[in-house]
């Protein structure tokens, strides 16, 4: 899929999710819907899901794909770096990211996007893994950042 096709697909997914996500809906139920739609429609998504920030812990939320770590080591990993930096992180080759947590050895590249509540606090991250190197670019970042904003209605 080239960038133009990918951008079109993200836009259509965002439209569909705008219809599906109830404004007053439960956050876990909304995360489940986002995960199911993204995982079903994006061929390069090998693992798609959320880690929720509960206290200081990152705990697996709704996801699709191979079984993943339930709680992430608090001292390392791409998801933790996303929370600390409060920005999306694209990892073209996970073997080159110091401290990367490999829940499944088939994951080769990754993107992690912070999820904020309506006050701007991070409540979770959306994590997507691919089984190929270099699968994510600025188009994925833009598309996924737009989609996670639908969760809090901002």
Please answer whether residues 90 and 44 qualify as being in contact, where contact means their C-beta atoms are separated by less than 8 angstroms: no
Q: Burial level of 113, CB count in 10 A (0-12/13-18/19+)?
A: buried
C-beta of 26: minimal distance to ligand SME in Å? 23
Q: Is 127 in the site for ligand SME (CB under 6 A)?
A: yes
Query: If you search the block for the tokens 């893994």, which residue do you land on?
Result: 129
8-20: string of b/e by CB count within 10 Å (b at 16+)?
A: ebbeebbeebeee
Which residue, judged by CB position, is nearest to ligand SME in the bound state?
A: 77
Piece of the chain touching ligand SME by CB under 6 A; list 22-30, 98-106, 134-142, 144-152: 98-106
Cβ-contact 110, 82 below 8 angstroms: no
Of 77 and 114, the one with the shorter C-beta distance to ligand SME is 77
Smallest gap, in angstroms, from Cβ of residue 16 to ligand SME?
A: 24
- Dihedral angle sign, alpha carbons of residues 23, 121, 55, 95: positive
Per CB under 6 A, does 72 bind ligand SME?
A: yes
C-alpha dist (Å) from residue 33 to 2, 27, 30, 118: 25, 10, 5, 19
Q: Which of 6, 9, 52, 100 binds ligand SME (CB under 6 A)?
A: 100
Does 52 engage in binding with ligand SME (CB under 6 A)? Answer: no
Question: Can residue 79 be called a binding residue for ligand SME (CB under 6 A)?
Answer: yes
Query: Residue 126 CB, nearest distance to ligand SME (Å)?
Result: 11
Site string for ligand SME, 3-42 (x = CB under 6 A): ----------------------------------------
């Amino acid at each position: 899929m080239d960038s133009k096709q990918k951008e079109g697909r993200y836009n259509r997914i965002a439209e569909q999710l705008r219809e599906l996500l109830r404004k007053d809906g439960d956050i876990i139920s909304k995360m489940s819907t986002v995960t199911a739609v993204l995982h079903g429609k994006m061929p390069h998504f090998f693992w798609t899901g959320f880690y929720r920030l509960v206290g200081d812990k990152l705990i697996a939320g709704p996801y699709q794909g191979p079984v993943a770590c339930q709680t992430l080591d608090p001292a390392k990993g791409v998801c933790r770096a996303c929370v600390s930096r409060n920005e999306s992180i694209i990892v073209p080759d996970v073997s080159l990211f110091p401290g990367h947590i490999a829940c499944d050895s088939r994951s080769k590249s990754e993107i992690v996007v912070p999820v904020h509540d309506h006050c701007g606090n991070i409540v979770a991250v959306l994590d997507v893994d691919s089984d190929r190197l270099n699968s994510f670019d600025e188009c994925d970042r833009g598309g996924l950042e737009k989609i996670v904003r639908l969760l809090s209605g901002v």
